Amino acid sequence: MAKKDYYEILGVSKDASTDDIKKAYKDLVKKWHPDLHPENKEEAEAKFKEIHEAYEVLSDPQKRAQYDRFGYVGQPQENVGGASGQPFNQEDLFGGFEDIFNMFFGQGMRREENVSRSLRGEDIYLTIQIDVRDVLYGAEKEIEYTRYETCQACHGTGAKDGTSFKTCPKCHGTGVVRVQQRTFFGVVTTQTTCDMCGGSGKIITEKCPVCGGRGKVIVKKKIKVRIPPGVDDGGRLRVPNGGHAGDNGGPYGDLFVILRVRDIPGIKREGRDVYSEVDIDFAQAALGTEIEIDGLEGKEILSIPAGTQPNTILKLRGKGFPSPNGGPRGDHIVKVNVVIPKRLSKDQEELLRRYAEISHTGVNSKKHGFFR
Ligand SMILES: [Zn+2]
Ligand SMILES: [Zn+2]
């Protein structure tokens, strides 16, 4: 994916508020909507798409934070069998625009009906749990789910054998009817979907017995997805065409696999680095030691140098997570708590009193009963 400066595209500063971003987006989509630039439609479309892409990232706090940190958003999208790598499709884009358009101008200003005869299938969202190891090294997972697929018996037409139709008398098989409308943008001739045949141009005379005329059947599907190393908790993988079948032979929707990374108690992740805390006693802090702590891959040895102070930060280099962009793994950062004992045995107390004596530091005398 080419690196783009989303802030520059929207013409806002890096610290712009969500409202500023929304306003900039609103102004820009009005300016660059492809229908307003019939003479250089291609350029306007590219520009419009770019604006939409920038807005989608910067208006979402999580995506924006990821973009600020990594300079891009999303995981490398790989799926077994080949991904298109296309970040948007027309339906998403213009569907999104329509929503925004209606939000700003109200339903009354809606100026164009969807003229497509076929409708793209719905997306499917699936959440799966993955382990820390999967994030460290990447993994391939088999996923089972159900979805609508195009009925093979009627080729998605809903008509028996795919042939039991007659031509729609209202649109004469074109699936669309033309309408002239006076709108906000002037007089516009639009095509609308024929209501009699639903845009297919044909009327079914006998329904397909396999799918009952729906053109779609429920199918249990098994696929493999590759999880790239370094994915975030909540990250998602897109499997193009993994969603439901469309209507009237429309394309499949996408499957989004949302990844939930199982926690390791006591370990917190922040980007590539992970954080935890450990308690040691003051003898260990003063004399130094090696202790075992919980790491991402089981036990790790942490060296405590002699003279370690409370709240010292120690690092296990390369024991964090990898970055989705590659490069070395992050670090495991450990905060060391030096714990002062609340109770002492007789021997311990005696030794500490001796210690205080040699160090010439005053302590409470025994009769105060401070320690017992
Ligand atoms: Zn069928
Ligand atoms: Zn029709």
pLDDT tens column, 253-268: 999 999 999 999 999 9
* pLDDT one-digit tens code per residue, 309-351: 999 999 999 999 999 888 899 999 999 999 999 999 999 999 9
Q: pLDDT-derived band of residue 372, with 50, 70 and 90 as boundaries?
A: very low
**Distance between Cα 204 and ligand 2 center (Å):** 11
User: In which band, very low, low, confident or very high, does the pLDDT at 88 lie, cut at 50, 70 and 90?
Assistant: very low
Ligand 2 centre to CA of 115 (Å) is: 12
Q: How far is CA 269 from CA 201, 262, 300, 319, 329, in A?
A: 55, 11, 17, 12, 13
* 44: amino acid identity, one letter: A
Nearest to 336 by CA among 273, 269, 272, 289: 289
- pTM attached to this predicted model: 0.56
Q: Distance between CA 72 and CA 58 in Å, rounded?
A: 11
Tell me the ligand closest to 207's alpha carbon. 1
Cα(88)–Cα(27) distance, rounded to whole angstroms?
A: 21
Strands 165-167 and 236-239: unpaired
pLDDT for 117: 56
pLDDT confidence tier of residue 74, bands split at 50, 70 and 90: low
Measured CA to CA, the distance from residue 70 to residue 329 in angstroms comes to: 15
pLDDT computed for residue 112 by the predictor = 38
**Ligand nearest to the backbone CA of 171:** 2
* Residue 181: Cβ within 10 Å count: 14
Question: Mean pLDDT score of the chain, rounded to an integer?
Answer: 83
Q: Which ligand is nearest to the CA of 154?
A: 1
Q: pLDDT of 173-193, one tens digit each?
A: 888 888 777 777 777 777 788
Q: What is the pLDDT of residue 287?
A: 97
Tokens standing for 250?
A: 């429309």
What is the distance in A from the centroid of ligand 2 to the CA of 167? 8
- In this structure, are residues 285 and 268 in contact, taking their beta carbons and an 8 Å threshold? no
Identify the residue whose tokens are 């250089």. 40
Measured in Å, residue 121 CA sits from the centre of ligand 1 at 16
- Nearest CA to 97 out of 198, 29, 172 is that of 29
CA of 122 to the centre of ligand 1 (A): 19
Distance CA 241, CA 130 (A): 23
User: In angstroms, rounded to a whole number, what is the distance separating the alpha carbons of residues 28 and 58?
Assistant: 14
Q: Could you read off the pLDDT of 204-252 as tens digits, one per residue?
A: 899 999 999 888 999 999 999 999 999 999 999 999 999 999 887 789 9
341 vs 371: CA distance, rounded Å: 10
- pLDDT for the residue numbered 367: 56
Confidence of residue 72 (pLDDT cuts 50, 70, 90): low
- Determine the Cα–Cα distance for residues 293 and 277; give it in Å rounded to an integer: 9
Distance from Cα 150 to the centre of ligand 1, integer Å: 8
Ion ligand 2: residues, CB within 5 A, are 168, 170-171, 194, 196-197
Q: pLDDT at residue 96 above 60? A: no
What's the Cα-to-Cα distance from 52 to each of 38, 94, 113, 186, rounded to whole Å?
A: 19, 10, 20, 24
Q: Is the pLDDT of residue 108 over 50?
A: no
Binned at pLDDT 50, 70 and 90, residue 60 comes out as confident
Is the pLDDT reported for residue 364 higher than 50?
yes
What are the Cα distances from residue 126, in Å, to 29, 72, 123, 145, 248? 32, 23, 10, 8, 25
Q: For position 76, what pLDDT does the model report?
A: 37
Strand runs labelled E in the chain = 124-130, 139-150, 165-167, 176-183, 186-193, 202-204, 216-227, 236-239, 255-261, 268-270, 273-281, 289-295, 298-304, 312-316, 332-339
Rounded CA-CA distance 237/126 in Å is 10
* Contact assessment for residue 332 and residue 264, using Cβ atoms and an 8 Å cutoff: no
